[in-house]
Amino acid sequence: MSNIDTILQETRVFPPAPEFVKQANVSGMQAYRTLCAEAEKDLEGFWSKLGKQELLWHKPFSKTLDESNAPFFKWFYDGELNASYNCLDRHLETQPDKVAIIFEADDGKVTRITYKELYHEVCRFANGLKALGVKTSDRVLIYMPMSIQVVVAMQACARIGATHSVVFGGFSAKSVQERIVDVGAIVVITADGQFRGGKEIPLKPVVDEALAMGGCEAIKRVVVYKRSGSPVKMQAGRDLWWDDVLKGQPDRCDPVWVNAEHPLFILYTSGSTGKPKGIQHSTGGYLLWCILNMKWVFDYKPSDVFWCTADVGWVTGHSYITYGPLAVGATEVMFEGVPTYPDAGRFWKIIQDHKVNVFYTAPTAIRSLIKAGGDLPRKYDLSSLRILGTVGEPINPEAWMWYHETVGRGRCPIVDTWWQTETGGHTISPLPGATPTKPGSATFPLPGVFADIVDETGHPVGRGKGGILVIKRPWPGMLRTIWGDPERYKKIYYPDEFKGKLYLAGDGASTDEEGYYRIVGRIDDVLNVSGHRLGTMEVESALVANTTLVAEAAVVARPDDLTGEAIVAFVVTRGPRPSGAEATKVARELRNWVAKEIGPIARPKEIRFGDNLPKTRAGQIMRPLLRLLATGTALPPAVSPLENPAILEQLKQTS
């Protein structure tokens, strides 16, 4: 890992247009360098100034950073505030009638809600939660469709100091159950169903199945929002309709002032060890980070219509739908559906109809839209766009160029953002009014983020070389711990190999001679499918859980033009190795099984059958060899430690 060399050499450079630089919040590279120098000279002073400037405090902080129990850092730790107050109440005097959210449903119906209306709705639901017995520091699990109501639910939790944990609406009952148990939730907020691409997808039945699996005895109430109108079973004494929770509740609710370090949310992300990690984020530091990201990276202007296409089930939706845009008082678009329904022009029509200025989406979506109709964007009026963004995974240079030329018409800066659930928001990204961009490069760390690339011993590798991406100093938006497992937090993110001093991102990276960062792959066994991180162990465990069909399984990733990476599963069946039509049938069954166990996002793209898996004579699965097989790379002339070389030909065959 210490000698990663990128074969991709990118010489194209796109400086921001002079007229854009003039109006930018961070204007020109010198302004960027000045901010970086301020942070380097006085880290605490830098963040203290921004914390006081950007957040509304009930009790001002006097302590900026506490490193006494590193790596469990505390920011603004003697201050008190409320996230919902900072997102809603602060705008009531200045812009109560400004549209906060433009919601476009799957079927095209549009609903608008102002800051004043959203405030009252959040207050009513917060009062409803309190009436159900939800108290400060209780955990609430949210499993909902994209809707104004999911933002209301999250903001209501924040308002009363309850910690929310959102689960993506595509995850399975087992995934929901695991998260309910781990986080110790007392209430689940869900819906009867959701719509995606013209199809209804049930949600409440999934919650019922999850609760029936056991271990969820702490759940007192299940609140159900009526979205699809399909009949669902309601358990008396436990299940309540959303409207019944709201009924009779006052439309004002005093915010609960919490310590800056109070857990705002816990969001689960996959790990290489199988068990998902509950990433715990604070209130003060996280919210500051979201605000600065909006102002620095998205160059937020009060007239902007901002659209992040992510689902709130992922951190991108937390930071750039529920919290960041509302904290700065933006008007934002929320979309329930998919980019290709009813046709591949849906995204472009939304931009045209709502006059979107800042558009933030994933490379997977970009690649699918190129395939679906590369010239389609030219048929729509996209002249409102001024900034384009990408998130979730590195974008290949040619997709970047298409995005730049066909969508942005060559005039919109592209912010190719690198960050993680753990970082809370952007950490390496261009600033649109400052940074000359290179296709496929996340460019430079944000001010106050001290990134570096090191070898296995933690020593910097220097410019022009590749290695392990780390962050050398804490920053306000970072995770605080893994919920309920501080030792795992230290082991994963501040490992002993780096003497517990460096944040380990888990990604490999390289820089060119000018210092531009390029993310080149991961150093652990975590898959990245459509920008979503999935643990190989989770997928393997799901396959092996099918005890009727599967004896053994190993999972790797291969590059994929559409999803970034595709899941390739190597399977040893309990009976004879299937072939022909039988292999196709078994592969289909296993794909459906994984989709049910984890969710459709984890469905293997390829399944290959072998009499056994390639192992060393010591019994270790040879994963590097499987990666070569998955990508069709020529194998080394002799695989000496391999127990049974004959299986290699078997495992080249896809079902």
pLDDT for position 88: 98
Q: What whole-number distance in Å separates Cα of residue 598 and Cα of residue 173?
A: 8
Q: What whole-number distance in Å separates Cα of residue 79 and Cα of residue 294?
A: 23
pLDDT for position 2: 40
Please give the C-alpha separations between residue 549 and each of 354, 444, 546, 582, in angstroms, as whole numbers.
50, 48, 6, 12
Q: Do the Cβ atoms of 550 and 573 come closer than 8 Å?
A: yes
Q: What whole-number distance in Å separates Cα of residue 79 and Cα of residue 88?
A: 19
Instruction: Write the pLDDT tens digit of every residue in 115-166.
Output: 999 999 999 999 999 999 999 999 999 999 999 999 999 999 999 999 999 9
Instruction: Write the pLDDT tens digit of every residue in 409-464.
Output: 999 999 999 999 999 999 999 999 999 999 989 999 999 999 999 988 889 988 88
Question: 């050398």: which residue's tokens?
Answer: 472
pLDDT for position 273: 52
Q: Look at residues 39, 34, 13, 24 and name the one whose alpha carbon lies nearest to residue 451.
A: 39
Instruction: Write the pLDDT tens digit of every residue in 381-411.
Output: 999 999 999 998 778 788 899 999 999 999 9
Q: What whole-number distance in Å separates Cα of residue 425 and Cα of residue 310?
A: 14
Tell me the average pLDDT of the chain.
91
Angle, in degrees to the nearest 10, between helices 284-296 and 43-54: 90
Alpha carbon 320 to chain centroid, angstroms:
10
Q: SS3 for 335?
A: strand
pLDDT for position 428: 98
Instruction: Write the pLDDT tens digit of every residue in 349-363.
Output: 999 999 999 999 998
